[in-house]
Chain A
Amino acid sequence: NAGVTQTPKFQVLKTGQSMTLQCAQDMNHEYMSWYRQDPGMGLRLIHYSVGAGITDQGEVPNGYNVSRSTTEDFPLRLLSAAPSQTSVYFCASSNGGEQYFGPGTRLTVT
């Protein structure tokens, strides 16, 4: 079991560029979510999904899109990157219990 994997580990973008952060899990979990972590603010939920074809907004969804075409994958798209999106992004999955986290993507927007 690889658990939850995320790519890339690091990314630098210019303002206005778009990109997709990849997340995959091999535990057949129905629930997947994206968080961003900023100093002093803990983890804030961006978007989540309770199963393939179903997504919903979290606490800070603006500027991000998600889709869930399969149980395994839950990509996060930045439509037009802004410096305020500089952060560490974590993907997580669960199946009614504790959440399992990926290693994170450190994103810098200049």
Chain B
Amino acid sequence: AQSVAQPEDQVNVAEGNPLTVKCTYSVSGNPYLFWYVQYPNRGLQFLLKYITGDNLVKGSYGFEAEFNKSQTSFHLKKPSALVSDSALYFCAVRDMRNTDKLIFGTGTRLQVFP
């Protein structure tokens, strides 16, 4: 079965420090992977995606993600966290049977402290 796991419900980091939000996936074949962010009382916003090519993908707001095929991971990273990065982050993988359908993880709440 295809799935995405976000092992941490919450990640706490001090402003200015690097942050990592973890995501692992399970799909057959080559995965299409996505990260979304949700600010309070808002819809989800697309951050970045991996389809093919360079394993390091750059996205919006200074975020990047590293695709690791051997570890089946797609961790979200940022070199220097901002308080305004505090939000709920979702990892998703495209359903290989349906080119538009996404399978979402349960989300990780990122809290950046001043």
Note whether A and B form a binding pair.
Answer: yes
- Interface of A with B (CB < 8 Å)? 4, 30-31, 33, 35, 40-43, 45, 48, 50, 90, 92, 94-104
Interface residues of B (CB under 8 A from A): 9, 34, 36, 41-46, 49, 90, 98-102, 104-107
Q: Pick the contact of B106: A42, A48, A98 (CB < 8 A).
A: A42
What's the A-B contact tally at a CB cutoff of 8 Å? 49
Which interface residue of A31, A42, A48, A95 has the most chain B CB atoms within 10 A? A42
- Binding site of A, secondary structure by majority: helix, strand, loop or mixed? strand
A43-B104 contact, Cβ under 8 Å, with A97-B49, A98-B46, A101-B44: yes
Identify which of B34, B100, B101, B104 contacts A42 (C-beta below 8 A).
B104
A43 near B101: Cβ-Cβ < 8 Å: no
Check if B43 sits within 8 Å of A90, measured CB to CB: yes
The complex places the Cα of A54 from the Cα of B90 at a distance, in Å, of 28
B105 pairs with A99, CB closer than 8 A: no
